Amino acid sequence: MNPLVVFLMIVHILASVGLVVLILLHSGKGTGVSSMFSGMMPTASTGTGIMEKNLDRFTIVAAATFVTTTILLMIAY
């Protein structure tokens, strides 16, 4: 196998596992695992805590990495 394909597969697997974990950490209707960590954090004016905003950013990065590696694997393999 091509070393590029191996590298892309490793990144793809890490992104997919990370995406699953990050999605499970999101809260649904005010409850969830993320509320445990952000319960003591001060909230911003929008009502969303700093932890929740960072969790959203990490989820978007993981999703973009997953989509990019999926397309690159489709082209390279």
Task: Kindly tell me if the per-residue pLDDT of 39 is higher than 90.
Answer: no
- Domain segments of the chain: what residues? 3-27+48-76
Are 32 and 25 a contacting pair, CB within 8 Å? yes
**By mean pLDDT, which of 5-9, 30-34, 68-72 is the weakest?**
30-34
pLDDT band per the 50, 70, 90 thresholds, residue 28 = confident
Average the pLDDT over 34-59 and give the result. 70
- pLDDT tens-place string over residues 48-63: 688 889 999 999 999 9
Please tell me the distance from the alpha carbon of residue 20 to that of residue 26, in angstroms, as a whole number.
10
Please tell me the distance from the alpha carbon of residue 42 to that of residue 1, in angstroms, as a whole number.
50
Please tell me the distance from the alpha carbon of residue 73 to that of residue 4, in angstroms, as a whole number.
9
pTM over the 0.95 mark: no
